[in-house]
């Protein structure tokens, strides 16, 4: 297929707009997943209480951790789902190539991640007002109730970074499965295997990875730690899918 007569930018733009239309349902799932997380979060994420003779003093803690985790799962899933067959085959109605399809997929995923990151940050804070209104029997401890503007933007930015990482992982996994269905068995097997490697010493793969990212106190370094695998996973996925036959 030759693209000499076609402007690559306009081709990319058409594919990207098409994806915004064809994959718009990922935003429905985003809203549903986040609303579900809000419902689960209304019960509080943790509780500390102390007995005082005839009564108990307790502090109910609320956080957006669950919303963040749910959205991470969503990001992983949308990374996989853009490679689903119905989505993929529809693209062949465009004059395109694998490279442009991958680039438009990545652009769509980045857009979805930005939307997901913004809503994750805002949902965490918006939920506070709602909880404050409905919790008539509890007194509020001020402190982190209204975050600084810096914290608000930091929360959104970091959420976007993590979502980008997980959707890149999902995209890579989806490409592998697209390459050969056997990966659909190998990848879950690897995941389960990694769960048990070195767990005894508290140095399991997931624990190590969690610490590697969550304990990073420099935003710039975290950015690089997330950017590096993204810059590896997306090109590898593109190269792999480029080797596939049309309508595989």
Partner 1 sequence: MNMIIIVAIIFIAIVTSLFARKIIHTRFIYTILLSYLVILIVLTAALYVVPMNGREPDPEAFTRAERASNAIYHAFSEGKLTGLDDVTVKKNWKLSHDGDVLHITSKNHSGDYWILVERSPQLDGAIEVSYYNSPAVFRQIDYTDLVAPPEVTLENGSLTLSNRSQQKDIRFMEFQRDAYIEVFVNPDKENNRSNSFSMIHNSGLWHIVVPERTRVSANLEFNLNWMNTP
Angle, to 10 degrees, between the axis of helix 205-214 and the axis of helix 183-196?
Answer: 80
Distance, in Å, from the CA atom of 176 to the CA atom of 110, rounded to the nearest integer, reads: 20
* CB 213, min distance to partner 1, A: 9
**In the window 14-43, what residues touch partner 1 (CB under 8 A)?**
21-33, 36, 40
Judged by beta carbon, residue 14 or residue 97, the one nearer partner 1 is 14
* CB 16, min distance to partner 1, A: 14
User: Among candidates 177, 180, 178, 164, which has minimal Cα distance to 234?
Assistant: 164
Judged by beta carbon, residue 119 or residue 238, the one nearer partner 1 is 119
Angle, to 10 degrees, between the axis of helix 149-179 and the axis of helix 219-242?
Answer: 20
Contact 121, 155 (CB under 8 A): yes
**Of the residues 83, 113, 123, 241, which one makes contact with partner 1 according to CB under 8 A:** 123
What does residue 47 show for φ and ψ, rounded to 5 degrees?
A: -145, 135
Contact 81, 167 (CB under 8 A): no
Judged by beta carbon, residue 77 or residue 183, the one nearer partner 1 is 77
**In the window 161-200, what residues touch partner 1 (CB under 8 A)?**
162
**Of the residues 3, 89, 90, 145, which one makes contact with partner 1 according to CB under 8 A:** 145
User: Among candidates 116, 108, 106, which has minimal Cα distance to 235?
Assistant: 106
The footprint of partner 1 on this chain (CB under 8 A) covers a number of residues equal to 81
Judged by beta carbon, residue 7 or residue 145, the one nearer partner 1 is 145
* CB 2, min distance to partner 1, A: 32
Judged by beta carbon, residue 99 or residue 131, the one nearer partner 1 is 131
Q: Is 124 in the site for partner 1 (CB under 8 A)?
A: yes
Judged by beta carbon, residue 50 or residue 246, the one nearer partner 1 is 50
**Contacting residues for 229 by C-beta, under 8 A, at least 6 apart:** 165, 168, 169
**In the window 51-110, what residues touch partner 1 (CB under 8 A)?**
52-65, 68, 70, 73-74, 77-78, 81, 84, 86
Distance, in Å, from the CA atom of 103 to the CA atom of 117, rounded to the nearest integer, reads: 21
Contact 230, 164 (CB under 8 A): yes
**In the window 199-218, what residues touch partner 1 (CB under 8 A)?**
214-217
């Amino acid at each position: 297929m030759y693209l000499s007569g076609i402007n690559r930018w306009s081709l990319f733009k058409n594919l990207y707009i098409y994806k915004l239309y064809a994959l718009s349902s990922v935003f429905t799932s985003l809203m549903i997943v986040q609303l579900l997380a809000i419902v689960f979060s209304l019960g509080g994420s943790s509780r500390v209480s102390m007995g005082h003779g005839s009564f108990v003093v307790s502090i109910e803690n609320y956080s957006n951790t669950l919303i963040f985790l749910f959205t991470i799962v969503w990001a992983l899933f949308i990374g996989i789902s853009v490679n689903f067959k119905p989505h993929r085959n529809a693209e062949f109605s465009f004059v395109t190539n694998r490279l442009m399809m991958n680039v438009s997929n990545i652009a769509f995923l980045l857009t979805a991640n930005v939307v997901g990151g913004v809503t994750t940050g805002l949902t965490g804070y918006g939920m506070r007002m709602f909880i404050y209104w409905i919790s008539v029997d509890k007194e509020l401890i001020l402190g982190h109730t209204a975050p600084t503007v810096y914290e608000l933007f930091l929360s959104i930015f970091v959420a976007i970074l993590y979502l980008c990482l997980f959707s890149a992982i999902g995209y890579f996994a989806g490409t592998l499965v697209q390459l050969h269905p056997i990966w659909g068995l190998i990848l879950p097997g690897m995941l389960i295997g990694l769960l048990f490697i070195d767990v005894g010493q508290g140095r399991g793969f997931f624990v190590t990875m969690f610490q590697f990212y969550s304990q990073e106190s420099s935003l710039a370094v975290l950015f690089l730690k997330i950017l590096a695998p993204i810059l590896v996973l997306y090109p590898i996925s593109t190269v792999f899918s480029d080797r596939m036959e049309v309508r595989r």
